[in-house]
Structures are given as C-alpha cells and as structure tokens.
C-alpha cells in the first residue's frame, strides 16, 4: 500500500543560508547606512556572480522581468520578436510592455527550446530580435540561432532564468547572444529572494543597462534617456552573497537526487526524463519528465492529480502555453496549427520535486507512487 507523505512535498524549496552568514552581512549594511544605489554588498555580489557564471559583464536588478525590459530597450528592440510559447509569462509580457510584438515559434521536440529550423520562416522586415529561453536550464541551440541572427541582422536575447551555472562545452551560458537575463527569484537554484541580472560581453552595453535601471540618470544634473527603477538593494545583495556560498553544496545534493530519480524511473513505459544535450553542464534547476498518455496508460494530468492525493505537489511547467493567454491567442503566430510540438509537449511535461534537502527515501517513495499510478490509476 502506498501511503501519503505526512507533510507536503513541494516541487522546490528555497535554499536558505545559515542565519549567522546573513546577519554578518546585514551588520555591515547597518554600519554603512547604505541601503541601495550600488552599495558594497551590491558590488561584491556583482563581481562574485561574474566569476561564478564566467561572464565579463554583469548588471544586477531587482527582478528578472525588469531586467528583460531594460535589455529590450537597451538593444533598441521594436516590431516583431520571435520567441517561444513554452515559457513563463514574463517572457512575452516583457516583449509586449516594451512596445514590441511577440511572434511565437514552435519548439524543438527534444530540447524543448526554440526550434531554429522554424525560426527563419517567421522573419520579416519587421523582425528585430530573437528572444529564446533556456528551458529548465537546457540551452538553446545557440550556434544555429546566432547564425540565423547574423544572416538577417537580428539581435539575440536569452531568457536564462533557469540556467544559473549552465555551461556549454565549458563556456558559461551568459556569454551567448547580445545579452542574457537571469532570475534570482526564491524558487531558483541561486536567489536573492527577488532579483535578477543581465550579462553580456560588451562593457558599453553593460553601462547602458546600469544607466537605464537607474532612471537613465548619469549625474545629479544629467538624465540620458527614459529609464526605470530596476536597482537591486543592499538587503537583496547581502542575502544573495550568503546564498551563493551555499550553491556548490546544494548542487551536489541535487545531483544525488537527480541520479536517484533516474535510477528509480528507468524502464517505466511511456515516461521519459528530459535531459541536457551532450557537453552541457546542468544548472540542476528542475527535474522534468514527459508522460505519453498512450504508452503510460493515463495522462500527465492524472499523474499530477493523483500525486496531490499523496501530498506531493509537482508542477505542470509550463502549462498552459503563453500563446493561449487572452492577450495573445488572436495573434496569427499563436494558432495551435503553427505550434504542433509545443501544443503536444505542454500536455506531457511534469516537474517532480527537486531540492537539496529532499531525502532520497522520499525520492524513492515518489517514484513508487508514479509506478502505482501507472498500474492502478
């Protein structure tokens, strides 16, 4: 008999550093009486993230969505922006808030990221940018997308919200395209409760990011452009510094959890583990499976609902497709007929619980529950 967990098992839990590690940094903030506007904690965190991600330029933000808005403005994006419907709402919303227009493109059936083979057919004279998403930390085909962008004179912006620490052939994910956005929301591997960053290779572009996130203010008497308030404060940065110290150990624990899932789920008919391509170092942000309702014997939604009866709260991530939202469903590119892979995948994916403090016996129990659901419904 399969017994429910006594306490809920959620899809993720925030990584919390020891309180004394945070308190020491907060004491420094109190001593300085400097709470925002690029204080010492902010500067330390920016440098530390640059080293961790192996990127030359980092600009910190109060959240990832504002960072995306600033990137779109700094890059001068207008008109059509080719993007994926299989993403968090912030991706197309940032495009729309910037005054541009999302153009939805179907996804690769394996990577689940923007499909380069389908991008080129969507490019018109109105297209200015490709905004691609490293889904679950799985990198896009960055070389193929860059080749397309170079041929057509387009900017490439990456939503790397899930990809903190992902590397391709040893190269940090934040080095590709014109810029990349990282989210530091509490649900992410690395977080500052709320926060985000833009990375790029260009020092002048990073300077533009810094100016725009501070209202466009250059000095007490000069404002260069229409900016916004996107600054990360010292409290966020202090938490981020304390969390960053814990990330290597958290990654090791997550890798052990992932290995146990892979071992225990192997051979289940109709269930496929979503994995990174060869040569990719994973961010270990999510553990995702796909459930084929015909081969598995019941739908992903049935598994999701049955797991809740066992006090396991998985996530149908991303569901529904952004292209089905009221704001976008009437766009020509939002038609399900144009998005057959994404329309199928969104009914199959399920994020299972993954965090460093998840006990391996709990992983075993979740896998047993999935097998029981397949057999008994």
Count of other CB atoms within 10 angstroms of residue 263: 11
Q: For tokens 């040893």, what's the residue? A: 170
Average pLDDT for residues 35-44, to the nearest whole number?
97
Cα gap 71→64, rounded to integer Å: 10
| SS3 state of residue 20 | helix
Q: What are phi and psi of 128, to 5 degrees?
A: -120, -15
Cα gap 248→283, rounded to integer Å: 11
Is the omega angle on the peptide bond into residue 320 within 30 degrees of 0, that is, cis? yes
Answer whether 349's CB lies under 8 Å from 300's CB: yes
Question: What's the alpha-carbon Rg for the chain, to the nearest Å?
Answer: 21
**pTM, 2 dp:** 0.97
Beta bridge partners of residue 172, listed in sequence order? 167
- Say which DSSP state 104 is in: E
Q: How confident is the model at residue 133 (pLDDT cuts 50, 70, 90)?
A: very high
Concatenating the DSSP letter of every residue in 159-212 gives E-TT-TT-EETTEEGGGSSSEEEEE--TTSSS--SS-EEEEES-HHHHHHHHHH
Sequence-separated (6 or more) residues with CB below 8 Å from residue 159 = 68, 87, 90, 91, 131, 132, 133, 134, 180, 181
Cα gap 352→292, rounded to integer Å: 16
Look at residues 176, 15, 6, 183 and name the one whose alpha carbon lies nearest to residue 91: 183
What digits encode the pLDDT tens for the residues 226-281? 999 999 999 999 999 999 999 999 999 999 999 999 999 999 999 999 999 999 99
Concatenating the DSSP letter of every residue in 214-282 gives BTTEEETTEE-S---B-PPPHHHHHHHHHHHHHHHHHHHHHHHHHHHHHHHHTT-TTEEE--PPTTEE-
What digits encode the pLDDT tens for the residues 344-373? 999 999 999 999 999 999 999 999 999 999
pLDDT at position 17 over 80: yes
CATH fold of the domain at 247-376: 3.90.1150
Domain ranges of the chain: 19-242, 247-376
Mean pLDDT, the chain, integer: 97
Look at residues 158, 157, 166 and name the one whose alpha carbon lies nearest to residue 188: 166
Task: Please check whether the two domains, 19-242 and 247-376, share a CATH topology.
Answer: no
CATH fold of the domain at 19-242: 3.40.640
């Amino acid at each position: 008999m399969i017994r429910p967990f006594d306490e809920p098992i959620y899809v993720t839990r925030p990584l919390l550093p020891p309180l004394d590690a945070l308190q020491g940094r907060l004491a420094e903030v109190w001593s300085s009486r400097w709470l925002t506007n690029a204080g010492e904690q902010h500067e330390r965190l920016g440098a530390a993230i640059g080293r961790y991600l192996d990127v030359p330029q980092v600009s910190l933000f109060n959240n990832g969505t504002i960072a995306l808005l600033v990137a779109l403005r700094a890059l001068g994006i207008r008109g059509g922006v080719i993007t994926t419907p299989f993403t968090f709402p912030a991706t197309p919303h940032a495009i729309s808030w910037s005054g541009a227009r999302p153009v939805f493109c179907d996804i690769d059936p394996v990577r689940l990221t923007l499909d380069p083979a389908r991008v080129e057919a969507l490019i018109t004279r109105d297209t200015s940018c490709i905004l691609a998403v490293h889904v679950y930390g799985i990198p896009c085909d960055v070389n193929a997308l860059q080749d397309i962008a170079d041929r057509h004179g387009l900017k490439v912006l990456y939503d790397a919200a899930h990809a903190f620490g992902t590397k391709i052939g040893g190269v940090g994910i934040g080095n590709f395209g014109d810029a990349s956005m990282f989210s530091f929301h509490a649900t992410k591997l690395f977080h500052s409760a709320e926060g985000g960053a833009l990375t790029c290779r260009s020092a002048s572009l990073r300077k533009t990011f810094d100016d725009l996130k501070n209202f466009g203010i250059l000095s007490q008497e000069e404002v260069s452009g229409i900016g916004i308030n996107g600054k990360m404060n010292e409290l966020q940065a202090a938490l981020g510094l304390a969390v960053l110290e814990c990330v290597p150990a958290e990654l090791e624990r997550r890798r052990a959890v992932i290995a146990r899932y892979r071992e225990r789920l192997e051979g289940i008919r109709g269930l496929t583990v979503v994995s990174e391509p060869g040569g990719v170092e994973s961010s270990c942000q999510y553990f995702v499976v796909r459930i084929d309702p015909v081969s598995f014997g019941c739908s992903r939604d049935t598994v999701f609902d049955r797991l809740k009866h066992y006090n396991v709260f998985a996530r149908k991530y991303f569901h529904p497709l952004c292209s089905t939202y009221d704001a976008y469903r009437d766009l020509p590119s939002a038609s399900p007929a144009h998005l057959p892979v994404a329309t199928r995948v969104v009914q199959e994916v399920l994020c299972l619980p993954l965090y460093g403090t998840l006990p391996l016996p709990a992983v075993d129990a979740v896998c047993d529950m999935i097998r029981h659901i397949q057999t008994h419904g």
